Chain A
Amino acid sequence: MPFKLLIVIPCYNEQDSLPALLAELKSLALPPAFSMDIAVVNDCSKDATVEVAKKHTDIVLDLPVNLGIGGAMQTGYLYAFQHGYDLAVQMDGDGQHPPYELHKLLQHWEATKASVVIGSRFIVKQGFQSSALRRTGIGYLHWLNKFFTGIHVYDSTSGFRLFDRKAIAIAAGNYPDEYPEPESIIIFAKAGLAVEEIPVAMRERQGGQSSIKQFAQLYYIVKVTIAMFFSFIRK
């Protein structure tokens, strides 16, 4: 029995970048130990994301109300949980996470069986590195994560991550809806799951825009700090 792997792609107005990403994913030669399905979660896009997605994949989860990235991701994890997938990988719809890096996550998981494997931009500095301001914020989050959990995660905002069955179960039940990535690390660490990080190369987004816009960056840091603190003290 191969391991069942679900790629979850949360999308908001990604009709332009989605076809290339899905085509690239489908042409991927995975190790024989894995079988892959692709789920596109459409977070109430205003463009033709659903129609585009339906042409390329069978699993399209179409949210009737915009929930934000966390709510969309959780829908994917709920699907993975209900349909008995062994692994789920989040991959952004804008093409930032190159499919050819997927095998690195899978290899690392096969070798270590860590529950959460995060693909990081920063361990080895290659590929797209994002702006200086944003890197400062990410450095702060690294410090905060280390402070709360003792785990070193350099790229805690990275959405390119692999979950095993245990992590999927937790995320299906409780996943933050706004800016979920740093906070969820604390949730997993508190549940006693092994969280590991490996270097991957990322690309600059191929289309669409970041879910974190200029003015929202300060809000992002404040909100994530508060959310991480409360996730930490919550029983």
Chain B
Amino acid sequence: MERIQIITIIANLFFLGYIGKLIIKGKLREEYAIVWLVITLFMAIFSFWRQGLEIVSRKFGVYDPPNLVFTGFIFLILIYLLHLSVANSKLQKSITSLTQEMALLKQQKEKEAQTDNA
């Protein structure tokens, strides 16, 4: 086994452990964790299977194997960013509704307090 393989495998294990810790502590929702776990899995496969990248690249018709890595990861990152934008939009909508509801309730409460006093 080459030195770089051992380094990647160890880095991978740390990454995996950290993701696990975040989930256990409730800081990372499972639905977001899926992407991170899948990425870790891919990295693990290719750190054990050294010729894998070349073989897969040839299958795809990519001449320079690192290009496949870049293309693949950029694609993944874009998809994930889109997913985050969607999640963000949903959050914003919820916050708007909550805020409006709060303002309306506050007004109602104040009005009730006024009629009680009168």
Contact = CB atoms under 8 A, between A and B. Distances in A.
The 8 A-B pairs with the shortest beta carbon distances in the complex, nearest first, are A61-B103, A75-B100, A65-B99, A63-B103, A71-B96, A63-B99, A61-B107, A75-B103
Contact of A78 (B95, B104, B111): B104
A74 B100 contact: yes
Secondary structure at the B interface, as helix, strand, loop or mixed, is: helix
A63 B111 contact: no
A63 B107 contact: no
B11 to A, nearest CB: 40
Interface in A140-179: 177
A41 to B, nearest CB: 7
B106 A62 contact: yes
Q: How large is the interface on A (under 10, 10 to 19, 20 to 34, 35 or more residues)?
A: 10 to 19
B89 to A, nearest CB: 11
A71 B104 CA distance: 13
Given A58-B111, A65-B95, A177-B96, A41 B103 contact: yes
Interface of A: 41, 58-65, 67, 71, 74-75, 78-79, 82, 177
A67 B99 contact: yes
A75 B111 contact: no
Contacts of B92: 177
Contacts, number: 41
Given A58-B111, A67-B96, A75 B106 contact: no
Contacts of A64: 99, 102-103
Contact of B107 (A62, A67, A71): A62
Given A60-B110, A78-B100, A82-B104, 17 more contacts: A41-B103, A58-B114, A60-B107, A61-B107, A62-B103, A62-B107, A63-B102, A64-B102, A67-B96, A67-B100, A71-B100, A74-B96, A75-B99, A75-B100, A75-B103, A79-B107, A177-B92
B94 to A, nearest CB: 11
Contacts of B102: 63-64
A7 to B, nearest CB: 15
Contacts of B104: 61, 75, 78-79, 82
A101 B87 CA distance: 43
Contacts of B106: 61-62
A64 B100 CA distance: 9
Contacts of B110: 60
Contacts of B103: 41, 61-64, 75
Most buried by A among B103, B111, B114: B103
Contacts of A67: 96, 99-100
Contacts of A75: 99-100, 103-104
Nearest to A41: B103
Nearest to B99: A65
